[in-house]
Structure 1
Amino acid sequence: MTVDTEHGEPAREAVRALRRIAFLLERAGAPTYRVRAFRTAADVITALSDPEITERVTGGSLEALKGIGPKTAGVIREAWAGDVPAYLERLEAEARTTPLVAGGAGAGLRALLRGDCHLHSDWSDGGSPIEEMGRAAQEVGHEWAVLTDHSPRLTVARGLSPERLREQLAVVADLNARWAPFRLLTGIECDILDDGSLDQEPDLLDQLDVVVVSVHSKLRMDADAMTRRMVAAVGNPRADVLGHCTGRLVTGRGRPESQFDADAVFEACAAAGTAVEINSRPERLDPPRRLLRRAVAAGTLFSVDTDAHAPGQLDWQVIGCARAEECGVPAERVVTTWPLDKVLEWTRAKREGETGA
């Protein structure tokens, strides 16, 4: 979390409590406005000096600050006094008693994970700054994570132009200089275009550590055309992970699966050393179990990812782990269990035309 290092321990504890509450609310799928209230309050406190905070806490004027309401003020006062805020205690208890998956499913594989190949920041359609996403990845126990904001064609998600992506690379380099040994890897979620080509300059893709490729348009394309499109994309040496392969949504109004020859696509993934993503988002759960089992049989690599658009969603990885265990995915074929050096060796080998599998 981002905290002014000149602040004393009471201020740091207040900010930690507010950000942890925001994380737990996101994890539980709470409305965005509730999450934002606590994160905004943390930002307000971070910007104040210790004397200012002390004066407002003791004088009862916290609520006079824009961005702080009665509930967030109560959390700040309790943390400032050295107590664990009651609201935080309640959320922690709820997280323990209502796990994301029942019966401890997925816990074994989750304990082996070292990273996450798919997360978004507010540079595209995520809700939090890069630094906050990276800090959250560290706090859930990762050694590395990949920043994969969208590519230019997805304008609805503020996809990154080549110029903006180059700016982002500099931001990530600066953060990594301060974060070692944790490493935020450079990446992108690159649109698979209609002909199977990738939506970003090839030379720029070559500079990235990990490239996730996904279909976001014409999801109801004819099955034969979709198969050709996906086979071409996963066979590209710059493609490392095939994201949410069917594009389905299983909640709300839902969205049907894209139609394609799954065996042909998974065989192409296996031949190219391209991992099939096990997307952990509750509304996606992609691929479906029947296809996940076919990918196992095809011999593909896998990447258990959150596709997180907010810090609290980084805890959703256990959902994908449970599905992986249920479908017999071998842990050694899950790239998100690999150490950083092995991940980078894999993607570099792919750029050089080897499978890396």
Structure 2
Amino acid sequence: MDPVAALKQIALFLERAGEPTFKVRAFRKAAAIVGELPPDELAERVRAGTLTALPGIGKSIAAAITEAVAQGEPGYLTKLTDSAAKPVAGGAALRSALRGDCHTHSDWSDGGSPIREMAEAAIALGHEWMALTDHSPRLRVANGLSAERLRRQLEVVAELNVELAPFLILTGIEVDILLDGALDQTEELLSQVDVVVASVHSQLRMPKKEMTERMLTAVANPQVDVLGHCTGRLVMGKGRPESTFDADAVFSACAEYGVAVEINSRPERLDPPRRLLRVAADLGCEFAIDSDAHAPGQLDWLPYGCERAEECGISAERVINTKTAADLLSHIAGR
């Protein structure tokens, strides 16, 4: 087995399992180092047992490389493959209908991998497109993009789209909804990107009335295409309670303005909860089933959202990322 491919596969399985970022990055870094070695040098290092002399390659990674070269699939990869749980029981038909992902991050903000790696992982999953939605500047803890950095990113994406065609990286942003409902980026720049996901990231415990007005103001903004992880809850670790808002009012506004309600597939979010998904569905909303991936392996978290959508009676026709890129862009423009 190609050792570079083996190391990348290990990294993907670790990401899907939610393992610490440092462990994933170690395998990705090792894959890059091995990939740059001349074949003769790699073979000699495997024979002499000197792989650990290379920077960033410890005993376990060296063992995986040696096994890949000598006998095919490394034992570590086999173990990860065997122990990988089937993520969900339902939603398979809906998952197969998804053509892309409206909410992903790269190392331009708080993601762990370059844009190209994210795109290549999406291609491997059979996607036709993905929206790159790194954070806006106010979210400094996530290295949010200033206007200047976002403009540079648009240029990088344009170049990558030439190289990766027919796969398409849609430009985008996950823009913070500020306390008054305004958006954390200029109207001019928001109008230039393909997909705008608007999310609340601050003062999640503000009173219900104020939070409702905040969200209604954002949803009414014609630049907003998707309302991201609307309750802000976390269901793992210490957890975080849901923000409180008038769900009927907010989801009615989403239906009126054509803003898709995100079904966030991150295992620690699974946002919104089922009871609110059913409210949004009953009020006629459209949806975006998104991974909110911050690493390539996390793109494969979409089944979590698909299962919940199916349980709430949401059909593929109401999910915007079942559309081709061209149809999605036409749909957004038509709003």
TM-score (norm 1): 0.91
2:128, 2:325 within 8 Å by CA — same for their partners in 1? yes
Local SS of the residue matching 1:71: helix
Matched, 1:161 2:150: no
Matched, 1:120 2:105: yes
Local SS of the residue matching 2:101: coil
1:317 pairs, out of 298, 302, 310, with 302
1:276 pairs, out of 258, 261, 279, with 261
2:21, 2:112 within 8 Å by CA — same for their partners in 1? no
Number of equivalent positions: 335
Matched, 1:32 2:21: yes
For 1:94, the equivalent position in structure 2 comes to: 83
- Cα deviations across residues 182-206 of structure 1 (Å, max 9, x unaligned)? 1111100000111111110111111
Cα drift, residue 172 of structure 1: 0.9
For 2:65, the equivalent position in structure 1 comes to: 76
Structure 2 CA distance for aligned equivalents of residues 165 and 82 of structure 1: 45
Cα drift, residue 301 of structure 1: 0.7
> Runs (4+) of structure 1 moved beyond 6 Å?
none
Matched, 1:61 2:50: yes
1:132 pairs, out of 117, 139, 143, with 117
Structure 1 CA distance for aligned equivalents of residues 20 and 91 of structure 2: 26
Structure 1 CA distance for aligned equivalents of residues 64 and 57 of structure 2: 10
Structure 1 CA distance for aligned equivalents of residues 117 and 71 of structure 2: 25
- Cα deviations across residues 231-284 of structure 1 (Å, max 9, x unaligned)? 111111110000000111111111111111111111111111110000011111
Cα drift, residue 69 of structure 1: 1.3
Cα drift, residue 31 of structure 1: 2.3
- Cα deviations across residues 321-353 of structure 1 (Å, max 9, x unaligned)? 010000111210101111111111112223xxx
1:50 pairs, out of 35, 39, 44, with 39
- Percent of aligned positions with the same letter in both sequences? 62
Local SS of the residue matching 2:153: helix
Gaps of 5+ in 1: 1-9, 351-357
Structure 2 CA distance for aligned equivalents of residues 248 and 83 of structure 1: 43
Structure 2 CA distance for aligned equivalents of residues 174 and 78 of structure 1: 37
Structure 1 CA distance for aligned equivalents of residues 229 and 115 of structure 2: 22
Structure 2 CA distance for aligned equivalents of residues 118 and 238 of structure 1: 16
2:196, 2:225 within 8 Å by CA — same for their partners in 1? yes
For 1:3, the equivalent position in structure 2 comes to: none
2:205 pairs, out of 220, 230, 233, with 220
For 1:17, the equivalent position in structure 2 comes to: 6
TM-score (norm 2): 0.97
Matched residue type, 1:17: A
Aligned pairs (5 A) from 1:139-150: 139-150=124-135
Structure 1 CA distance for aligned equivalents of residues 67 and 268 of structure 2: 36
Structure 2 CA distance for aligned equivalents of residues 198 and 94 of structure 1: 43
Structure 1 CA distance for aligned equivalents of residues 211 and 35 of structure 2: 49
Matched, 1:260 2:252: no
Structure 1 CA distance for aligned equivalents of residues 222 and 22 of structure 2: 41
Cα drift, residue 82 of structure 1: 5.9
- Cα deviations across residues 210-230 of structure 1 (Å, max 9, x unaligned)? 010000111111211111111
Local SS of the residue matching 1:276: strand
Local SS of the residue matching 2:112: coil
Structure 1 CA distance for aligned equivalents of residues 50 and 181 of structure 2: 58
Structure 2 CA distance for aligned equivalents of residues 181 and 80 of structure 1: 33
Structure 2 CA distance for aligned equivalents of residues 298 and 161 of structure 1: 36
